[in-house]
Structure 1
Amino acid sequence: MEIVNFFEKLAGRWFSQRTTHALSTQQSKAGKSDLEVDFLAADAAEVQQLYQTHAEAVTDSATPLAAPLCGLRVHQSSTIEGDSQPKTSTTLLVLLKPQPGLKDSASDDSQGGTVLRSGAESQSTYKLEDEVLTIISDSSEARSEERLWFINDNLRMRTGMTELANGMRIASFCSEIRLGVKPPQPS
């Protein structure tokens, strides 16, 4: 599967159930989210704007940013066990075309490159291998690795591992169901 096709498949309305587990304290929390995911073409205004912002930040770099491949706008409304108010956020993700030979670029049998994220100064890397998307993010506060794959077109799984600067490690698992799916038509 091509990375753009994988991202197109992510679009839609999703219900997500999440469990997080702090490995050092052995505490777990459950949560749920409603996600609205929009696929954006490379030439969409939002994609180009985020790309330009990051491109300007790396003008002194010996390696310029690759061109945008596509984007996702993710609106999330989440409730976590113990919190009375839901939290809402909107994030824009922009995938850049793979650049062979760069550090952290994908091997020949996978597709990978850079992910830009709104509200984040740093860049992440992505890799699509065996129809599993892996996104790795590094910052001074934390390092995270998230993996996402489809069981079928309407059910996907996500796992994550985050290590905070203070050494705390948090694992997470999500199962996500696509909402508003039309039933099959009788033949």
Structure 2
Amino acid sequence: MSVTPPMTMMDFFRKSEGTWFSQRAVHNFAAVADESGESNLIVQVLDRQEPSVLEIASKEGIDPASVAGGAKFSWQGNLKDGEPNPNYAAILVDVPNPDNPRCGKFFRNQGYVEGIPVVGIYSFAEDGVLTIDTEYEKNQGQERCWFVTDDFRVRVSTVKLMNGVNFMTYSSERRCILPSQLDEMVEKNRQRALTA
């Protein structure tokens, strides 16, 4: 099955929009509790004029004209109902390189590793693999993500402390089907069965 990979960050955000069931395996080199598990990742694309996008741009001293847009990422236990906890959410603002939109920077209101605002540098390879490098105060993170199909993607990441690699993660993510989409699929199959 062929897939057309996104080659800009905004295309990546658009292709990622929706809810994903994420299964994560963590290999931690320190003696801490296993953080492997399952969760829902909820992605919402944000317009460049969205107040939260403009607020981050203003705080970071970014010219709003250089902003392509953004996205809100939220995490939630996959069996939990209701709105996601805002403490497990981040907003990313995309500032592409004006000479090459396949690379650029994004500004995140809070980091995954350290809960502080961070800047990530990203690039898309010829095959569509997205690489993100992030510098924290005490850590360095690198994440790679790619779409295997339009509805299945993979993420791998490493976080390095000053003394070496701290942990590595592998996540496989499957797009969740909304009830309305499922109803539509059932109706199409019902109609197909009636005409067969």
Amino acid at match of 1:126: Y
Residue of structure 1 equivalent to 2:12: 6
Q: CA deviation at 1:167?
A: 3.1
CA contact (8 A) 2:40 2:76 kept: yes
Residue of structure 1 equivalent to 2:49: 43
Superposition pairs for residues 23-172 of structure 1, below 5 Å?
Answer: 23=29, 29-55=35-61, 67-78=66-77, 89-100=88-99, 111-119=102-110, 120-129=116-125, 130-172=127-169
Amino acid at match of 1:127: S
CA contact (8 A) 1:78 1:87 kept: no
Deviations 1:24-75 (A, max 9, x none): 669854211111110112122211111111117xxxxxxx797111211011
Give the 3 Å change call, closer, same or farther, for CA 25–66 of structure 1 in structure 2. Answer: farther
CA contact (8 A) 1:40 1:70 kept: yes
Structure number with higher helix proportion: 2
- Separation in 2, partners of 1:67, 1:134: 21
- Separation in 2, partners of 1:68, 1:115: 9
Deviations 1:61-103 (A, max 9, x none): xxx7971112110111248xxxxxx995111011102144xxx
Scaled by the length of structure 2, the TM-score of the pair is 0.73
Q: Which runs of 4+ in 1 moved over 4 A?
A: 24-29
Scaled by the length of structure 1, the TM-score of the pair is 0.76
Residue of structure 1 equivalent to 2:3: none
If you compute each CA radius of gyration, which structure gives the higher value, 1 or 2? Answer: 2
Q: CA deviation at 1:168?
A: 4.3
Q: Classify the secondary structure of the residue corresponding to 2:118.
A: coil
- Separation in 2, partners of 1:158, 1:30: 14
Structure number with higher strand proportion: 1
- Separation in 2, partners of 1:171, 1:123: 20
- Separation in 2, partners of 1:93, 1:150: 20
1:173 counterpart = 2:170: yes
- Separation in 1, partners of 2:53, 2:20: 22
CA contact (8 A) 2:96 2:102 kept: no
Amino acid at match of 2:15: K
Give the 3 Å change call, closer, same or farther, for CA 176–65 of structure 1 in structure 2. Answer: same
Amino acid at match of 1:50: I
Unaligned runs of 5+ in 2: 1-5, 79-84, 111-115
- Separation in 2, partners of 1:180, 1:73: 19
Give the 3 Å change call, closer, same or farther, for CA 27–121 of structure 1 in structure 2. Answer: closer
Amino acid at match of 2:102: Q
The percentage of aligned residue pairs carrying the same residue is 25
- Separation in 1, partners of 2:28, 2:86: 20
